[in-house]
Amino acid sequence: MDNYVLIAFRLLGALGLLIYGMRMMSEALQKMAGPQLRHILAKMTTNRITGMLTGTFVTCTVQSSSATTVMTVSFVSAGLLTLSQAISIIMGANIGTTLTAWIMSLGYSVDLTSIVFPAFFIGMVLIYKKRHRYFGDFLFGTAFLFLSLVMLSAAGKDMDLEHNEAAIKFFSSFDTSSYLTVLSFLAIGTIITCIVQSSAAVMAITILLVSTGVLPIYLGIALVMGENIGTTATANLAAMGAGTQARRAALAHLLFNVFGVIWVLIIFYPFVDFVCSLVGYNTTLEGQTERLPVVLAMFHTFFNISNTLLLINFIPQIERIVCWILPEKQQKPKEEFYLQYIQSNLVQTPEISVLQAQKETFRFAEYVKEMFGMVRQAFNESDDKRFEEYYSQINDKEEYADRMEIEIANYLGKVSDDHLSDKTKRKIRQMIREIGELESISDACYNQIRILERYHTFGQRFTSEQIMQLQSMMDLCDNSLNHMLNLMKGHHNKFIVKEVYRIENEINNIRDSLKTKNIENVNNQLYDYKLGMTFGDLVNSLERLNDYIVNVIQTKFGK
């Protein structure tokens, strides 16, 4: 009895090591290839075939279908991928994840001990060399994965289940020819995978039980089918608090796998016998247990490839079904605070987190541009009642902008706590500066509307020359804001910088000229001191607003 307790702890420890190794390896690969993976997902999805191949490639690269799926859901939430593109990528991810099953079946067929310890040593050396630390993390994760497979294989042999009468009696009590038994094991595989959030761990246990010969291959395959459904829980949980499109993508993953399981269940026994024949395993004969891990890996591969080939032409129909199940909610009121792209529960890797923050920062920039547009409308408004409406709206928007700055900064602060590359750290520092300058632009807009409110209380009006001069400055600021938005969209070119500096010099010259002329006009009693002071304050505020725009642009270029 004590011996079995010790073996049980060894199994649990090996499973924990396997999950940790898989996670470490996956995260290291994502950090090494993060920007490239992002561009691959966003660009190489021109049609359903390329989308499927992209999903397969990325999942094989990061060794985690959950990582690919959550990444895809995040990109849908950020507006980088359409729902149909996401569905094709998810189909490919299901094919890519079959590589993990082959690695595990190899672990039960080949002694990996000779690989593990050199991998640990080389990984440790590379981790201390800062330049190659991510590759070192990858080697460490791989070594942990292989070590866990060695430990699981050894524990399985020590359990000696093939000679344990109680275990043999227990598993032989199940009628493998009954669909009820198959459905029961399918449900068990689904539930366990949902609980442990790792299909790799459940696959390892399944291979262990099947390789001993006590668990019939039909029931082992039923567990694998359940794992395919259970693995969708990760993306669905991640998308739970996200936008409608993200939840639709996660639901499409679930429907895709459930449909696959349903059609395979209809032809279950012939399908399993056919897969077994591909690797030369005869289900009617005893023995041949050494081939059973390969049978599971082959089934996993054949099942996912067949399901993808069957459904890839029905992506538009799948899209319509998930849109029908999850209809678009009524859009929130404009001024009710919400972050459109940042979903804290979708944070999976620093690369995705930074991408979400970049999208939200661009939305912030569009927001302050909209504020300035309202200031211009208020400036041209002669009706006091209409002006008060503008004043109230800009006041609300300024509070909204303050909250945007705080929320984005807090989010970036959380991302900073993770282990980041130097490049990602620079991006985060850059964005923190950007949102600070954008908030200053919103403050300048609020200051301008307050100046205009004071102007409306005087009962006097600017001269036609003053109006023309102020409108000229506003045109220049608006032009500068447009350049800023183009730059934040990703249009990096030197023309934008030169043009913005030209605008800044022109605004500075206008300010200096108007400052002198304003004093002269007050002295010559062309208008009174109050109006001259209001005019001067507005000119200075417009000049400061453009300074903040220049600061954003300089930040973008790392200055």
- If one compares 336 and 183, the residue with the highest pLDDT of the two is 183
pLDDT per position as a tens digit, 244-303: 777 888 888 889 889 999 999 999 889 988 888 888 777 666 656 677 888 888 888 889
Q: Specify the residue for token string 């004590």.
A: 2
pLDDT per position as a tens digit, 377-403: 988 887 888 888 888 889 888 888 888
Q: What angle is formed at CA 231 by the lines to CA 217 and CA 315, rounded to 5 degrees?
A: 105
- Residue 558 pLDDT: 67
Let me know: does 368 contact 444? Beta carbons within 8 Å: no
Tokens read off for 432: 């923190």
- For the chain, how many residues are written? 559
In eight-state DSSP terms, residue 217 is H
- If one compares 413 and 416, the residue with the highest pLDDT of the two is 413
Alpha-carbon distance of 339 to 336, in angstroms, equals: 10
Tokens read off for 448: 């301008």
Residues sharing a CB contact under 8 Å with residue 323, sequence separation 6 or more, in sequence order: 83, 248
Average the pLDDT over 178-192 and give the result. 88
pLDDT per position as a tens digit, 415-427: 776 666 677 788 8
CB burial of 44-56 (b: ≥16 within 10 Å; e: otherwise) equals bbeebebbbbbbb
CA distances from 247 to 251, 319, 329 (A): 6, 12, 12
Alpha-carbon distance of 17 to 22, in angstroms, equals: 8
Given a cut of 70, whether residue 371 has pLDDT beyond it is yes
Average the pLDDT over 325-333 and give the result. 64
Let me know: does 226 contact 187? Beta carbons within 8 Å: yes
Residues sharing a CB contact under 8 Å with residue 360, sequence separation 6 or more, in sequence order: 339, 340, 341, 342, 404, 408, 411
> Which regions of the chain carry the CATH code 1.20.58.220?
349-556
Given a cut of 90, whether residue 337 has pLDDT beyond it is no
Average the pLDDT over 191-212 and give the result. 78
Average the pLDDT over 138-153 and give the result. 74
Given a cut of 50, whether residue 483 has pLDDT beyond it is yes
Tokens read off for 11: 């199994």
Given a cut of 80, whether residue 217 has pLDDT beyond it is yes
- Residue 331 pLDDT: 47
Let me know: does 446 contact 394? Beta carbons within 8 Å: yes
Which of 123-137, 197-211, 415-429, 528-542 has the highest mean predicted lDDT (pLDDT)? 528-542
**Ramachandran category for residue 160: left, alpha or beta (phi over 0 → left; psi -120 to 50 → alpha):** left
Average pLDDT score over the chain: 79
- Residue 545 pLDDT: 93
Alpha-carbon distance of 282 to 284, in angstroms, equals: 5
Of the chain, the end-to-end C-alpha distance in Å amounts to 68
Closest CA to 411 of 347, 474, 463, 465: 347
Given a cut of 80, whether residue 502 has pLDDT beyond it is yes
Alpha-carbon distance of 97 to 103, in angstroms, equals: 10
Neighbours of 120 (CB within 10 A): 17
Average the pLDDT over 186-192 and give the result. 88
Q: Which of 69-83, 111-125, 515-529 has the lowest mean pLDDT?
A: 69-83
- Residue 207 pLDDT: 80
- Residue 370 pLDDT: 92
CATH number of 349-556: 1.20.58.220
Let me know: does 368 contact 488? Beta carbons within 8 Å: no
- If one compares 43 and 223, the residue with the highest pLDDT of the two is 223
- Residue 117 pLDDT: 76
In eight-state DSSP terms, residue 549 is H
Using pLDDT thresholds of 50, 70 and 90, give the confidence band for residue 132: confident
Percent of the chain exceeding pLDDT 70 equals 77
Tokens read off for 324: 């029908």
